[in-house]
């Protein structure tokens, strides 16, 4: 019977789809950036020390014009050029400055992970110091530091 063989065919197709769906477990979603305020909930101590460092205010080193330039913001914000990272001061103001996730990597998966698995940041690495810092700094890109800042 044509109709019943079509029915059986559809059933087999359905089963095959089911098997495929079972065999391919969903890959863990790529982590996205959540911002330092979220990290503060559990890491108040690290947040407090971070607030004392210029990393937490790095965007303020740039003028309003410079804050629009990719060649400037890329080291003064969090996750520039990466999925879910800083885009612009208008779109992603919460990801300005060199935040936790600039060094530790995007944190959404760490946030969701069960407590026992939080020990390791499951999102791999963020950036290395040397991705932003160089001993051979082009000092011409910097504004003259205000005299008052000399310690």
Residues forming the site for ligand HEC (CB under 6 A) = 34, 36, 38-39, 41-43, 46-47, 50, 53-55, 57-58, 61-62, 66, 69, 71-72, 74-76, 98-104, 107, 110-111, 115, 118-121, 127, 129, 131-133, 137, 141-143, 145
132 vs 50, 55, 69, 72, 96, CA distance in Å?
17, 11, 16, 11, 15
Q: How far apart are CA 60 and CA 54, in angstroms?
A: 9
Say which residue the tokens 């959404």 belong to.
Answer: 108
Q: Rounded to the nearest whole angstrom, what is the least distance from the CB of residue 87 to ligand HEC in the complex?
A: 15
Q: Rounded to the nearest whole angstrom, what is the least distance from the CB of residue 53 to ligand HEC in the complex?
A: 4
Please, which residue, 91 or 129, has the CB nearer to ligand HEC? 129
Q: Rounded to the nearest whole angstrom, what is the least distance from the CB of residue 122 to ligand HEC in the complex?
A: 9
Contacts of 67 (CB under 8 A, 6+ apart): 59, 73, 89, 96
């Amino acid at each position: 019977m044509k109709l019943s063989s079509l029915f059986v065919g559809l059933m087999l197709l359905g089963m095959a789809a089911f098997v495929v769906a079972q065999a391919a477990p969903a890959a863990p979603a790529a982590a996205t950036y959540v911002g330092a305020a979220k990290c503060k909930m559990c890491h108040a101590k690290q947040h407090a020390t971070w607030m004392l460092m210029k990393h937490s205010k790095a965007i303020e080193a740039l003028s309003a014009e410079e804050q629009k330039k990719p060649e400037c913001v890329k080291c003064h914000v969090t996750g520039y050029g990466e999925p879910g990272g800083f885009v612009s001061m208008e779109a992603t103001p919460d990801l300005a400055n060199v935040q936790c996730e600039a060094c530790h990597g995007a944190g959404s998966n760490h946030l969701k992970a069960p407590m026992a698995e939080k020990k390791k940041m499951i999102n791999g690495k963020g950036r290395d110091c040397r991705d932003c810092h160089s001993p051979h700094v082009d000092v011409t890109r910097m504004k003259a530091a205000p005299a008052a800042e000399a310690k």
